[in-house]
Structure 1
Amino acid sequence: MAARNTAISLSEAGPFTDEQRELARTVRDVVAKRADSAAVRAVAESDAGYDTALWSLLCEQIGVAALAVPEEFDGIGTGYFESHLVLEELARGLVPTPMLGSAVICVQALLATGNDEACARILPGIAAGESTAALCWSGFEGYWGSDDLEVGAERSGDQWTLTGDTYYVLDGDRADVLLVAAGTDDGPGLFEVDPAAAGVERTATPAMDPTRPLARVRFSSTPATPLATGAEVLDKVLAIAQVALSGEAVGAADRLLALTVEYTQQRKQFGRAIGSFQALKHRMADLYVLVETARSMSYKAAESLSPVDAATAKAYCAEAFQQVAGEAIQLHGGIAITWEHDAHLYFKRAHGCAQLFGQPREQLHLLESAAGLT
């Protein structure tokens, strides 16, 4: 991760405002200075799961957690796209932070509810980087649809309780606020739960990707506050989560490709750098086109936030990242599968991205339905 950057992202060269380019450059500079490979590995093994000092710096000096929070809730109010650029830059270094789960997904979930009271109570703390939130949704099988929720909600008068297990919760074992997707007699809904409430059991779970902290959160007749009902809220949240993940996939794939190109320029065989061989040039050129196509899809989805664009971007970008990771392992040779080299971390992140927020077959099914093919 300390290697020289050999790629130019569209966040620098594309049709963006000067402020957006400066935001991306600033985050990249901070990551380069404060989150090299050794630092990322160290915090991934820590109890916190991420560098709290780095997160405070990103929030206080750059305002990354406040970008998508409206000004009325003490945020910057730029909208989603700027958060997308930040996710891309953080993912280049596989930097563990609460950005994806808390500052993007949970912020957008709260805004989607239209519940001003909850937004006014929760969003200022998230925007300031003083608190974090986690979205509890998927069951053990990893299904993220609104039509089959693992947690059930029961109502007794004005009181609600939740019961069920959720898995693959980003930063779920340490978040200050839990947002829970649960089924009710009137359909799916989104609830707020205090992690200290009775019946909440949170357990950090080992993950293939050590830079992505995940947890299981269990609810047993746990008191909850309803925020919104209706599948449209959860469907919107899922689309945003998939778009966000596509941005991470592009950032990480772009960085891994740059590392691979640099390695092939240094590694010599038969007296020549292996990167000078025509066959390897073709392979890396194909990967470059793949990453740039994925970037275009990701940015298009980040602008529209439509379910169809989200599914397209998530499926394509995750597959592109997996292909880049697989090729990088081969082009690095034997060193790529050693613990000391970073290639295996990107490889694990790539396969984790493909499964999180819906498996590829689910996105393809949605696209088939939208095209009238099913």
Structure 2
Amino acid sequence: MDFDFTDDQESLRDATRKWVEKGYDFARRASIVKAGGFSREAYGELASLGLTGLCISEEDGGLGMGPVEGMVVMEELGRGMVLEPFVQTLIASGVLSGHAPQAVKAAWLPKIASGESLIVLAYQERAARYQLEKCEAKAASAQDGWALTAIKSIVPAGDQANAFIVPAMADGQMALFLVERSATGVTTHGYGTQDGARAAEVTLDNAPAVLITLDGLTALEHAIDIGIAATCAEAVGVMDRALAVTVEYMNTRKQFGVAISSFQALRHRIADMKMQLELARSMSYYASLKLNAPAEERRRALARAKYQLGVSMRFVGQQAVQLHGGIGVTDEYIVSHYFKKLTQLEMTFGDTLHHLGEVSSRMQDTAGVFA
């Protein structure tokens, strides 16, 4: 089996990496954090590279690429800890392409592909934790479609997005809807998140909505799995840079007249970080390759991947800080931001303990050994 990336995928990686290195350095990122954690200009630059249409069909104005290309891009964006929620663009592209009626696709997919519209998933509720089937949002039939009443929490760039994908209960079953931020009955309260990005509480009060699908739980699970795969790839990029910065620091920091990279105990810790990074990388590949598998197989695979990534993120982040010493926790030094990013990613779309439970509950009689 050929595990090499194609020339097109390598070109995509190179273009994204060059933008991150030249157009999204640490100083620019810090200025975006200071301005609120989201830059429409930076998001527009991603669109100008064609990335916002990455997984949208050519008929709808996109590039018609797939999960592996999404993984390649997310790794590179992770290296720069890009704040703009590109994960949400991949989710919206996948959900609308796979579950929406043709009229909704025609209205929104070209806008997503061009970067004109940012659509984000608004699914988290205070009482739900990570259980997707728990939903208190209500949808009622209205004269022109549907009206939604809901409170959704920690919505990425919720006060900046153009529209939301919202799960709500309709006639006793979960359905998925699209709600424009400018619609009547929609209010948002934005705030900064721990990693410097932006989120919002979104309140819907009989807000007009367009139906995406009545099979809402299936579509929501698909959306979350896209998010998990993208988050895994992003985390690999963050860990890769955290390890590189730590090695560079150890090669320059001297103790007792020699570089601390010569100390055997510290070299062993670097080796352990590298091992965790490569475990994470292989499971990220596994997650992306399983995105188009049947639902049960996909859900099981994504839970496995997120569990391993959670373990690796925690280990690599903590070791990076500890090997730097006191400077590793200062806001002025980049490694502290890698640590905060990894800590937040570990809890995104289900934390490590949650996915350990998912892996356990989805085990078959063979526990996967002979499956």
What is the TM-score normalised by the length of structure 2? 0.92
Structure 1 counterpart of 2:45: 57
1:243 aligned counterpart, secondary structure: helix
Contact 1:144-1:238 at 8 Å conserved across structures: no
Match of 1:262 among 241, 248, 261: 248
How many pairs were matched up? 358
The Cα of 1:361 is off from its aligned counterpart by 2.5
Match of 2:19 among 11, 14, 30: 30
1:81 aligns with 2:55: no
1:218 aligns with 2:203: yes
Distance 1:333 1:283, change over 3 A: same
Aligned partners of 1:240, 1:158: CA distance in 2, in Å?
A: 31
1:239 aligns with 2:231: no
The Cα of 1:58 is off from its aligned counterpart by 2.7
Deviation string for 1:18-58 (max 9, x for gaps)?
111121122111111111111101012214x3343333233
Moved more, 78-87 or 286-295: 78-87
Match of 1:367 among 352, 359, 365: 359
Contact 2:38-2:157 at 8 Å conserved across structures: no
1:321 aligns with 2:321: no
Deviation string for 1:119-176 (max 9, x for gaps)?
1110111111121111110012563433101322122466321112111111111111
Task: Tell me which amino acid in the other structure corresponds to 1:357.
Answer: F
The Cα of 1:14 is off from its aligned counterpart by 5.9
Distance 1:190 1:45, change over 3 A: same
1:90 aligns with 2:77: yes
Distance 1:346 1:150, change over 3 A: farther
Distance 1:273 1:369, change over 3 A: same
1:358 aligned counterpart, secondary structure: coil
2:116 aligned counterpart, secondary structure: coil
List gaps (5 residues or longer) in structure 2.
292-297
Q: Which runs of 4+ in 1 moved over 6 A?
A: none
Structure 2 counterpart of 1:3: none
List gaps (5 residues or longer) in structure 1.
1-12
1:160 aligns with 2:146: yes
Aligned partners of 1:213, 1:312: CA distance in 2, in Å?
A: 28
What is the TM-score normalised by the length of structure 1? 0.91
Task: Tell me which amino acid in the other structure corresponds to 2:8.
Answer: E
Deviation string for 1:79-117 (max 9, x for gaps)?
22212211110111111123111x211111212314221
Contact 1:249-1:318 at 8 Å conserved across structures: no
The alignment-based identity, stated in percent, is 34
Structure 2 counterpart of 1:208: 194
1:69 aligned counterpart, secondary structure: coil
